[in-house]
Amino acid sequence: MDILALEAKGVKAEGTPQPATTKPRPKAPKKPKRIVYFEVEIVHAKTKEKLLLLDKVEPSATILDIKSMFHKSNQRWYPARQSLCLDPKGKPLKDEDVLQQLPVGTTATFYFRDLGAQVSWGTVFLAECVGPLFIYLMFYFRLPFIYAPKYDFTTSKHWVVHIACLCHSFHYVKRILETLFVHRFCHGTMPLRNIFKFCQLGNFSIHVVLRNLKPPGSKTKKIPYPTKNPFTWIFTVVSCPNYTYEKLKKGDIFIEKFQAGSWLGFTVMTQCVPVAFFTLIGFVQMTVWARGKHRSYLKEFKEYPTLRSPILPFIL
């Protein structure tokens, strides 16, 4: 009976017409999102003259893209020479800033300032190192057009003169090699108008640490910490050991490469008043810059080590 019932059900199922399978309706293609383009006006920050009007600028465009568009209309002002601000006296915008993320409407006004002719930082460092190196050697070897004829190409009898020349030359040769193979510059260029062994191992070690903080192409800031290299342990108590060991340039002020420790040793060795004066003035300027950088570290990083001093451990 069960078998007959199952067969009957099978016959009924086969005889019953099955409903036709309905294919799903194809989805209507999504309408592309409407892009809201920006209108960008570039105005001279000083004269308030309208220099360019860019229509239909994509919202994802960066400041560097806008600079490139501006450069196409005026070949004189290449991107590195341009400074674009939201206010005539405001801070320059970063090249990576995105247009739609700035506090502007769809009609944006940027104020342009000419930074002047630019030169790469690598060229700047090479120029300021090669010059002092060769000028010093010209006096050391007593070339004919510097001293009287009887002193041409003569050498000093004092051993300290030869040691001083060796230290001076080593310092600038090291700086040239660092410029070529170690330094990574945050800014590609600087205004052209800005160009007008004591503590050397420590100086080199600090440069390597600072270099490793910035991978190629990165502008992310990090806190420098000591490494296994003993010369970097000074980071434990000093914010700017590269100022303690060495020098820097700031803004439009150009000061010859200064190393506090190196020049102090050079002053003691040569017992030269001009060298001592240079060491004093350089250290004062370095202290001002180190304190400024120390304050910026404290503001930028909440976890910044509180034990550190700007330039001299526990003193200054």
Cα dist from 16 to 6, 13, 115, 128, whole Å: 15, 5, 87, 97
> Would you state the pLDDT for residue 248?
35
Nearest to 169 by CA among 207, 197, 204, 201: 197
> Would you state the pLDDT for residue 102?
94
> Would you state the pLDDT for residue 232?
65
Query: Encoding tokens for residue 298?
Result: 């404290």
Nearest to 186 by CA among 208, 217, 207: 217
> Would you state the pLDDT for residue 249?
35
Contacts of 267 (CB under 8 A, 6+ apart): 275, 276, 279
Which tens digits make up the pLDDT trace of 23-34?
667 776 776 677
> Would you state the pLDDT for residue 286?
76
Contacts of 50 (CB under 8 A, 6+ apart): 41, 42, 43, 44
What are the E-state strand segments in the chain? 38-44, 50-57, 82-85, 107-114, 118-120, 189-191
| Rg, Å, the chain Cα set | 33
Q: Give dist(CA 172, CA 92) in Å, integer.
A: 34
Q: How many CB atoms lie within 10 A of CB 252?
A: 9
Report the SS3 class of residue 62.
strand
Residue 88 amino acid letter:
P
Crossing angle of the two packed helices 159-181 and 121-140, in degrees rounded to 10: 160
> Would you state the pLDDT for residue 17?
54
Map tokens 């568009």 to a residue: 69
Over the chain (316 residues), the average pLDDT of each successive run of 10 is 50 52 68 81 94 92 94 90 92 93 93 87 74 83 80 84 87 85 69 59 65 70 72 65 49 42 75 76 78 82 81 74
Positive or negative CA dihedral for 240, 243, 249, 253? Answer: positive
Q: Give dist(CA 243, CA 248) in Å, integer.
A: 7
Domains in the chain (CATH in brackets) are 38-115 (3.10.20.90), 120-300 (no CATH)
Cβ 80 vs Cβ 189: under 8 Å: yes
> Would you state the pLDDT for residue 53?
94
Report the SS3 class of residue 139.
helix
